[in-house]
Amino acid sequence: MTQIDRSPCQIKLYRISNPEYECPWGLRAVKFLQHRGINFEDIKLQVHEEVAEFRKKHQAAITPQIFLNGKRASGYIDLADSEITQISRAVAILRRVKCQITYAKFMRIARGCNCSIGQLSSAYRIY
| CA distances, 113 to each of 8, 84, 105, 108 (Å) | 20, 11, 12, 9
Supply angle C-alpha 60, 65, 69, rounded to 5. Answer: 110
Name the strands in the sheet holding 11-16, side by side, starting at the edge strand that comes first in the sequence. Answer: 41-45, 11-16, 65-68, 71-74
Q: How far apart, in whole angstroms, are the C-alpha atoms of residue 35 and residue 64?
A: 17
The architecture (CATH level 2) of 11-74 comes to: 3-Layer(aba) Sandwich (3.40)
Prediction pTM value: 0.61
Contact criterion met (CB below 8 Å) for 62 and 26? no
Chain segment 43-93, per-residue pLDDT in tens: 999 998 999 999 999 888 888 998 887 888 888 877 776 665 565 566 666
Domain ranges of the chain: 11-74, 80-126
- pLDDT at position 3 over 60: no
Neighbouring CB atoms inside 10 A of 6's CB total 5
